A and B are shown apart, each in its own frame.
Chain A
């Protein structure tokens, strides 16, 4: 039987950052990785994807970005190389090709069952990410059988799609990027739009995430925000890794010929049905964006930065089609595929502990689940940036402090 103090599950940004922090505090540990380092980045992303955060925000603890293109957005291929080098440079004890089957309490700690044998430990850090599974609405099962289905986890490139029109469901970061790429490849795309978070890529000549960062919003803590549950449920920002205007803005998507419809709500007799609420979800997104940008303006004025940044401006309202279609007969109208960009969820099915709420979400206080069990990389885990590369370092440092303190108490007891 193998023994270690801490088992980290997953060798992505969270697991690698945690490993580096634990090593710095002298805590012995292993990282279990079902594939290779950065597995989900290698296997579950589409080909053209670039990071949504500018490069200067894509460092890991002790390895800040030092390349030439600080304001650029790196490709996933580059990120994988960086993670691989980081794992090597930090001597991260990664056991690759090792899938965790189950964790359960054992003595004063946990027994981690893997397909390579069991490991006993005092602490487990679940660093498998927030996007292991693609969520689809229940009615996806009613889709006519001859229409292909994709999710952002298995969609790779437009050329893989069957012939015909494409319905993309969901207008957050994944849905809008995929819709744009498919439409640009010469296909006809309809985009179903529910609640979404509209932001410009660049505002007053600075990246929107630079604004988030310098105003402190990016690092806002879980114990300091109003209505944390709602913050954790917010859809992702409509952003793509390209520094110009925002090609994912619903106005820009309509300009290249994408048809907008409301949130998809049902399939009835082979017809996709859409909500009549498109106008309100767009109005709400415009209002929230204005509020965010006004906050940046106020901050810039108060900080005395006004002379150094471009003057403020208001973005055009989202254009709503006069009569967005409420129903589309997918087969009759020649749709070949549906891409469900309707969100992601973590896969915690291997955690055999009573730590889940009624809806199956793992319950935690800023990443602390219960004694010796930690989770990382979930939306607003400890900070607004917790799901971003940039957030892994700070969260890992905090959780390492907690872990070291509670281990010490256990030993003392």
Chain B
């Protein structure tokens, strides 16, 4: 049973347009096939920088007006220069942003006004895995926790439902919780 509220919430998400896109992709599923990419170059040591601009979608290549950069490095405790966050931290940031954007979109769709949203995402990793010291320890996170603090014009249950639905529809949550075939080659 979905209850429609007439109160206009404004979280800055155009859900009507997104619902329209659903209709369009229903007719033309091939337009829904997107490919995203990051172009990364080594600078020095563990320091590298990613340029992100072009992507493929709606049947064609798209160029953004601006190229974004994401840099990465390792911290001083790993004897690096700490010029940028580590790659796993970028993964945590990606999850945080994906879930946060999801909360805003779902809230908009459900007519819930958000006042503030904060999420702390933590990932546990035993670095003996990366150092190849114990084959039983994995390289990646053994667990990830995300804790939301949300102020919204809604009940605690409705806020919990927003967070749950945002996980259900999150790309990064899916990438982290389900296996993906990864193909790495040398050009």
Residues of A within 8 A of B (CB): 217, 226-227, 262, 265-266, 268, 273, 275-277, 280, 283-284, 287, 290-291, 295, 323, 358
Contact B29–A277 (Cβ < 8 Å): no
Other-chain residue from B143, B164, B173 in contact with A284 (beta carbon distance below 8 A): B164
Contact B157–A290 (Cβ < 8 Å): yes
CB distance from A380 to the nearest CB of B (A): 14
**Most chain-B CB neighbours within 10 Å: which of A217, A265, A323, A358?**
A265
Contact A226–B29 (Cβ < 8 Å): no
Chain A residues in 8 Å Cβ range of B29: 358
Contact B1–A287 (Cβ < 8 Å): no
Chain A residues in 8 Å Cβ range of B173: 277, 280
Chain B residues in 8 Å Cβ range of A323: 142-143
Other-chain residue from B1, B167, B176 in contact with A295 (beta carbon distance below 8 A): B1
Other-chain residue from B1, B157, B164, B177 in contact with A276 (beta carbon distance below 8 A): B177
| Bound Cα distance A365, B168 (Å) | 29
Nearest B residue to A195 via CB reads: B168
- Interface of B (DSSP majority class): helix
Query: What per-residue 1/0 map shows which CB atoms of B87-130 lie under 8 Å from chain A?
Result: 00000000000000000000000000000000000000000000
| Bound Cα distance A181, B167 (Å) | 32
Residues of B within 8 A of A (CB): 1-2, 29, 142-143, 157, 160-161, 164-165, 167-168, 173, 176-179
Nearest B residue to A226 via CB reads: B2
User: Contacts A275-B178, A277-B173, A284-B165 given; 4 further ones with Cβ under 8 A?
Assistant: A217-B1, A287-B160, A287-B161, A291-B1
The 6 closest A-B pairs by CB, nearest first: A276-B177, A226-B2, A280-B167, A284-B164, A277-B177, A275-B177
CB distance from A62 to the nearest CB of B (A): 32
Chain A residues in 8 Å Cβ range of B167: 277, 280
| Bound Cα distance A44, B2 (Å) | 36
| Bound Cα distance A284, B169 (Å) | 12
| Bound Cα distance A384, B176 (Å) | 35
Other-chain residue from A266, A277, A284 in contact with B179 (beta carbon distance below 8 A): A266
Other-chain residue from A217, A266, A277, A283 in contact with B160 (beta carbon distance below 8 A): A283
| Bound Cα distance A100, B165 (Å) | 44
A–B Cβ pairs within 8 angstroms, 7 of them? A266-B178, A266-B179, A277-B173, A280-B164, A280-B168, A283-B160, A291-B157
Nearest A residue to B167 via CB reads: A280
Nearest B residue to A283 via CB reads: B164
| Bound Cα distance A323, B144 (Å) | 11
Chain B residues in 8 Å Cβ range of A273: 179
**Most chain-A CB neighbours within 10 Å: which of B142, B143, B179?**
B179
Contact A284–B157 (Cβ < 8 Å): no
Known: A226-B2, A227-B2. A287 touches B164 (CB 8 A): yes
Contact A262–B177 (Cβ < 8 Å): yes
| Bound Cα distance A217, B2 (Å) | 12
Chain B residues in 8 Å Cβ range of A227: 2
| Bound Cα distance A358, B30 (Å) | 13
CB distance from A260 to the nearest CB of B (A): 15
Chain A residues in 8 Å Cβ range of B157: 287, 290-291
| Bound Cα distance A358, B25 (Å) | 13
Nearest A residue to B144 via CB reads: A276
CB distance from B99 to the nearest CB of A (A): 11
Chain A residues in 8 Å Cβ range of B160: 283, 287
Known: A280-B167, A284-B168, A287-B161. A265 touches B143 (CB 8 A): no
| Bound Cα distance A265, B157 (Å) | 29
| Bound Cα distance A292, B125 (Å) | 39
Chain A residues in 8 Å Cβ range of B165: 284
| Bound Cα distance A277, B2 (Å) | 25
| Bound Cα distance A275, B160 (Å) | 21
Chain A residues in 8 Å Cβ range of B1: 217, 291, 295
CB distance from B165 to the nearest CB of A (A): 8
| Bound Cα distance A23, B53 (Å) | 68
Chain B residues in 8 Å Cβ range of A265: 178-179
CB distance from B137 to the nearest CB of A (A): 14
Nearest B residue to A281 via CB reads: B168
CB distance from B139 to the nearest CB of A (A): 14
CB distance from A282 to the nearest CB of B (A): 10
Known: A287-B157, A358-B29. A268 touches B168 (CB 8 A): no
| Bound Cα distance A276, B179 (Å) | 10
Contact A268–B179 (Cβ < 8 Å): yes
| Bound Cα distance A112, B179 (Å) | 46
Nearest B residue to A215 via CB reads: B1
Chain A residues in 8 Å Cβ range of B179: 265-266, 268, 273
| Bound Cα distance A262, B2 (Å) | 28
Nearest A residue to B160 via CB reads: A287
| Bound Cα distance A383, B76 (Å) | 63
Chain B residues in 8 Å Cβ range of A280: 164, 167-168, 173
Chain B residues in 8 Å Cβ range of A266: 178-179
CB distance from A37 to the nearest CB of B (A): 37
| Bound Cα distance A266, B177 (Å) | 12
CB distance from B20 to the nearest CB of A (A): 16
